[in-house]
Structure 1
Amino acid sequence: MANKSVVEALDKLLQDLCENKAPFGGKLIVFGGYFRQVLPVVRGGGRREQVQASLVSSHLWPYFTKVKLTENMRTRDDPGFIDYLSRIGNGKEPTNSKGQVKLSDPMIIPYTNLEDSLEALISYVYPDMDLFESSPFEMMKRSILCPKNEFVDDINSKLIES
C-alpha cells in the first residue's frame, strides 16, 4: 500500500492542475487495498509507524467512500482457510513469544536442501503439468509468491524445463 504522503502529493497535484481546491481537484479517484495485508513500508519503523504512514491516518481519509468486500474470491472454495485467515486478521490465532503465527503441518513443506525443497514446492503447487497444457485456466488458480526476482527466475526456469 502506498504511503499517505504519496496520496497527499497526488491530491495537491490534481488541485493545482485542475485549479480546484476540492480533494483531488474534484476528480474521482479509486483506490483498492486491504489494510490487514499490506501496510506501507517504513524503514526502521514498527507497526505504529506503518499505521501512521497509512492512508487511514491521512487528513484525506474522511473524504473517501469506503466499500467493503464481503467475500474472499481466492479462498471461497476453502472455508477452513477463510476461517484461518480471519482468525489471524482478528488476532485470535495463537502466536509464539515473538507474536508469530505457527503454521499447521499440512501448510509446511519441510526443508531438506534447496534443490529438493524447491522441487517439492513446485510439485505441490503444480502437481500435474499435463493438466495445465489442456486447461491453462487451472494454472491461473495457482501461484508461488517470492520475495525476490531471482527466486522467481529460478522457479520459472524449473517450470519451463519440466
Structure 2
Amino acid sequence: MAHKKSLEALNFTLKDLRRNNNIFGGLMILLAGDFRQTLPVVPRGTPADELNACLKASPLWNNVKKLSLTTNMRVQLQNYQSAAQFSKQLLDVGNGKVPVDATSGLITLTNDFADL
C-alpha cells in the first residue's frame, strides 16, 4: 500500500497541471488493491503512524467509490478444486468469518488450510 501523501501529491500535481481545482484535476483515477493487506511502511513509526499513513485516513477517501471483485477468475478458469477451497478459506479469513480466540486474539486455521 502506498502512503496517503503520495496520492495527495498526485492530486495536487494534477490540479496544477490541468489548471482544474476538481479532485485529481477532474480526471478519474483507478486504484486497485486489497485493503486487508499490508499497511504503508513508516520507518521507525508506531502502529498508529502506519494507520494514519493509510489512504483511508486521507480526506481523499471520501471521494473514493469502492468496487469489489467477487469471482476469482484464476480459480474459475482452472477448475481446480483445491485452489477453489483455498480461495474460499482466504476470503473467510479476510472477511472475519474465522472465529477469534477471546483470550489470545488469534485465529486457528484448520489442518487442510492451503492444502494444495
The CA deviation string for residues 42-75 of structure 1, in whole angstroms up to 9 with x for no partner, is: 2234554333211111101121222111112344
Structure 2 alignment gaps of length 5 or more: none
Q: Residues 6-17 of structure 1: matches in 2 within 5 Å?
A: 6-17=6-17
1:75·1:81 contact (CA, 8 Å) conserved in 2? no
Contact kept, 8 Å, 2:86 with 2:114, in 1: the verdict is: no
Q: Who is 1:80 aligned against?
A: 85
1:46 to 1:99, Cα distance in 2 relative to 1, 3 A: farther
| TM-score relative to the length of structure 2 | 0.71
Aligned match of 1:89 in 71, 91, 94? 94
Letter in 2 for 1:43: P
Tell me how large the CA RMSD over aligned residues is: 3.0
Give ranges in structure 1 of 5+ residues lacking alignment. Answer: 109-123, 125-162
1:4 Cα offset (Å): 0.6
2:4 corresponds in structure 1 to 4
Query: Contact between 2:86 and 2:113, CA under 8 Å: does it hold in 1?
Result: no
Sequence identity, in percent?
A: 38
TM-score by length of 1: 0.54
Identify the structure with bigger relative contact order (alpha carbons < 8 Å, sequence gap 6+): 2
The verdict on how the C-alpha distance between 1:48 and 1:12 changes in structure 2, with shifts beyond 3 A counting, is: same
